[in-house]
Structure 1
Amino acid sequence: MTASCGIAIMGGMKNAPLFFPLGSTIDDNGHLRIGGLDAVELAKEYGTPLYVFDENDIRERCREFKREFAGRYPATHIAFAGKACLNKAIAKVVASEGFGLDVVSGGELEIARSAGFPTNQIYFHGNNKSDAELEMALEYKVGRIVVDNFYELSRLDAMAARRGVKADIMFRIKPGIDPHTHAKITTGNIDSKFGFGLDDAADAVARAMKCGNLKLTGFHYHIGSQIFEIQPFLDALKTTLEFMARMKRELGFITEELDAGGGYAVQYLSGAQPPAIGEYAEAIVSLLRSECHRLGLALPKLSVEPGRATVARSAVALYTVGAIKDIPGVRCYACVDGGMADNIRPALYCSQYEPYLANRMADYADQTYTIAGRFCESGDILANDVKLPEVKPGDILVMPVSGAYSIPMSSNYNAFCRPAVVMVKDGQARIIKRRETVEDLLRTDLG
């Protein structure tokens, strides 16, 4: 018997496809096992939709970044981009692996604090931080406040003065680089809501150098997400280093820290394999060293902020199949008990997934289905025209690479109760976020 992923299942466990959590296997019954546990049994015990994270996978992703970046460039600070998926359990895991954290809201900062995350290892990003959030950042003494605009700069300086403190800041800049990814996840081009253009950034540096209560340590940029090409990273780095040399030459400003953001691509589909983390790291570090030498710059502290690349492949989403709707000559829909309210990515920016049947991983995939969600939108489609074995009501559909952005972007559309999240490790499972209830929804509805 041959699995849809091309793996023979004939006595003994076999490895699951590469984009499942590390160590995932297919057992003799054709069931997917994650963290040593049967995914079908997890679905029975905790219900569906269900998101399952493998703790060991997250840890190995963290260690890979440390090996590849810090191994080549010891003065590297690696921070998890919390927007990808932040809860107390994940915060504790990445902290224990020596990662820092970047947050973009007061809510994310409070989650990190509730998990005991060291605030001096937190970078606070955001293009329109509120006064309350800036005050919070000062009160909690976060490691860096990444200033996005002149309005924020002036407000933060006044707040720090009132408190009698000196805050470490960075400026987010726009290198003007096209990362060749989807327009809605491109963030470093000139027409972006994020950061200073380079000429404005030069003016901002001059102003910051006169601020008695702020210390500018350097610059941050982030050009986008899911970037399969290495060259855009190098183009952005070269542009930024030339800007750093300009600031040294024109203003005498010495850049201590350079934050090159994230954007490292992960594999969602069999035929779309991105560069290895080591390939990104080798190219970035080599150019950093050579360009700093050419431009006469001291080597700065380097920060990188992987989010998706830390947790995306560490989790799967499990759904139960319900109605099958075959429209002859048109399409066959397999409807599941989740959809755009727990994963809006396909509807929002056409993200593609490669689903499987967790209870029949070994069955040959010779049928074409479109996986439809249960919500009242025609665009509520999780996967278009994918190959699966003959799907039946009650099957457990598994969507790999679901650890990033699905849960953080989930909603209560159609009064949907957000799904439970489970962490597995070495044959043990624990709920790290319980399923919402209707009572949760009604608690804020005051009538």
Structure 2
Amino acid sequence: MSASPARSFAPSWLTVPEDVNALAAGVWPDSAARDDEGALSVGGVDAARLAETYGTPLYVLDEGEVRARAARTRAAFEQAAAAHGTTIRVYYAGKAFLSTEVVRWVIEEGLNVDVCSGGELAVALAGGASPERLGFHGNNKSVAELTRAVRLGLGTIIVDSLVEIDRLAAITAAEGVVQNVLVRVNTGVHAETHAFLATAHEDQKFGFPLADATAVVARIRAVPGLRFLGLHCHIGSQIFGVAGFAESASRLVAVHAELAAEADVPLLNLGGGFGIAYTSADDPSPIEDIAHGVVAAVARACAARGIPVPQLAVEPGRSIVGPAGVTLYRVGTTKQVRVDADHERRYVSVDGGMSDNARTALYGAAYSARLASRRSSADPVLTRVVGVHCESGDIVVEDEYLPGDLAPGDLLAVAATGAYCFSLSSNYNYVPRPPVVAVHGGEARVIVRGETVDDLLARDAGIAAIERTA
């Protein structure tokens, strides 16, 4: 029997749900649940109450989920490292989502923090992170940023260019200090991810070619104010398996061994990029499997060269904070659009869009959505969830089955929005950015204040000029 027109028009990975109200395990926070009337709650807090109290759109972040994932990740990598006679540093990659509260959570769970701008550095410090527990990334760190990092005694600066080596040489000489550095290299391992997320291929802005590492390290070792700790590589983001990490580790260890033959190289940083489930079709490896596979690959490569396993470091971000986030929207309009002679698509417009979640437009990212304010017995209808912006590409969820009776005023929840949604948010079309609310144990609190139109107007210098001449 042939597939129905609605089904044939859907992407191949998307299946018609048996229950349009069901919350897919691994996609939604562990605390996500429905009450007897079908209303969604996260962290013990009713979604409708959150929307009424704080408005929509609204970023909701489950504190318990973030903490649990941070602790589980640290334990997994520490156990894997101990099994091979070494230790490991786990850094939270702040670019995924950063606020002072989140910094406090991950620090309390035993993680270090990764930053890649002066602003992220300021947030990490304000959140209570000590400088020695910070790593500083970036392909174009300014002299001012580097100077502050050196003066703070930052744990590691990840060097990304020859220009940066010269800048650090001058700064450390002026300050009379020694700064720990890593060298970011590209191993040539191409992660199976979106081209914009693959960061270890040759033709891109980050790091040095692996073949140049020996010369770069020699240049650093000639600078009295720099202490070379080791190599760093990041092969990409949203990666499910360990094969890419294992191959990259093998190539890194080969160069690490050459460098260690000349002088001590205590650290090897393997980066992050561990994937999460955005839809029920995604099947990321458990973090324990990733930790064991990555560390074992390093250990095998070291054993083959007769060298000890160095201290290791990893930098997960998305896998810690991504699944803890849910974004709430209010449905504004719905319409049926004739796509061709055989197909219609339902469009559901919500009160947010690409200004609070740019990933669909940037990467073609897939998301899962559910009716949050009630339970529905209506048949599922293939739906595209879109935003308020003046762009045809303003899509929040490209394809999802939602109840046929979804109507204006309903509350819609989109899962796995904890990473790279708030971080990439904008004021496109002069839309204020939403607040971030943390939920935990049945309580909710604002951890990042939302913007108002007055906030946006306050930055417009022309308004002040008009008022002075009025």
Sort the TM-score into its range (normalised by shorter chain).
Answer: over 0.9
RMSD of aligned residue pairs (Cα, Å): 1.6
The yes-or-no answer on 1:126 pairing with 2:138 is yes
Deviations 1:280-334 (A, max 9, x none): 1111111222221221222211111000001000010000000112124432210
Aligned counterpart for 2:48 among listed residues 36, 40, 52:
40
Name the SS of the counterpart of 2:203 in structure 1. coil
Question: CA contact under 8 A between 2:20 and 2:403: conserved in structure 1?
Answer: no
Name the SS of the counterpart of 2:196 in structure 1. helix
Q: Partner residue of 1:141?
A: 153
Whichever residue aligns with residue 361 of structure 2, its letter is A
The yes-or-no answer on 1:55 pairing with 2:63 is yes
Call closer, same or farther: CA 1:116–1:444 in 2, change over 3 Å: same
Deviations 1:4-59 (A, max 9, x none): 865699xxxx9763311122211101011111111121111110000100110001
Aligned-pair CA distance for 1:99: 0.5
Equivalent runs, 1:237-386 vs 2, <5 Å? 237-249=249-261, 252-328=262-338, 329-361=343-375, 363=377, 366-386=380-400
Unaligned runs of 5+ in 1: none
Question: CA contact under 8 A between 2:29 and 2:42: conserved in structure 1?
Answer: yes
CA distance in 2, matches of 1:361, 1:421: 26
Whichever residue aligns with residue 151 of structure 2, its letter is E
Equivalent runs, 1:4-83 vs 2, <5 Å? 6=18, 17-74=25-82, 75-83=87-95
Aligned-pair CA distance for 1:137: 0.6
Call closer, same or farther: CA 1:357–1:157 in 2, change over 3 Å: same
Whichever residue aligns with residue 135 of structure 1, its letter is T
CA distance in 2, matches of 1:220, 1:360: 48
CA distance in 1, matches of 2:165, 2:370: 49
CA distance in 1, matches of 2:159, 2:114: 13
CA distance in 2, matches of 1:380, 1:127: 30
CA distance in 2, matches of 1:175, 1:186: 12
CA distance in 2, matches of 1:64, 1:364: 39
Q: Partner residue of 1:104?
A: 116
Q: Which moved more, 1:141-150 or 1:378-387?
A: 378-387
CA distance in 2, matches of 1:228, 1:191: 23
CA distance in 2, matches of 1:255, 1:360: 58
Question: CA contact under 8 A between 2:326 and 2:413: conserved in structure 1?
Answer: yes
CA distance in 1, matches of 2:347, 2:388: 11
CA distance in 1, matches of 2:333, 2:294: 49
Name the SS of the counterpart of 2:125 in structure 1. helix
Aligned-pair CA distance for 1:439: 2.0
Q: Structure 1 length normalisation: TM-score?
A: 0.95
CA distance in 2, matches of 1:358, 1:60: 24
Call closer, same or farther: CA 1:361–1:407 in 2, change over 3 Å: farther
Question: CA contact under 8 A between 2:357 and 2:425: conserved in structure 1?
Answer: yes
The yes-or-no answer on 1:427 pairing with 2:442 is yes
Unaligned runs of 5+ in 2: 1-15, 463-470
Percent identity between the aligned chains? 40
Call closer, same or farther: CA 1:20–1:362 in 2, change over 3 Å: farther
Call closer, same or farther: CA 1:188–1:23 in 2, change over 3 Å: same
Aligned-pair CA distance for 1:444: 2.1
Question: CA contact under 8 A between 2:20 and 2:402: conserved in structure 1?
Answer: no
Q: How many residues align?
A: 438
Call closer, same or farther: CA 1:5–1:228 in 2, change over 3 Å: same
Q: Partner residue of 2:426?
A: 411
CA distance in 1, matches of 2:375, 2:28: 12
Question: CA contact under 8 A between 1:15 and 1:23: conserved in structure 2?
Answer: no
Deviations 1:365-401 (A, max 9, x none): 5111111110001100112231000210011110000
Aligned-pair CA distance for 1:253: 3.1
CA distance in 2, matches of 1:364, 1:21: 25
Name the SS of the counterpart of 1:239 in structure 2. helix
Q: Structure 2 length normalisation: TM-score?
A: 0.90
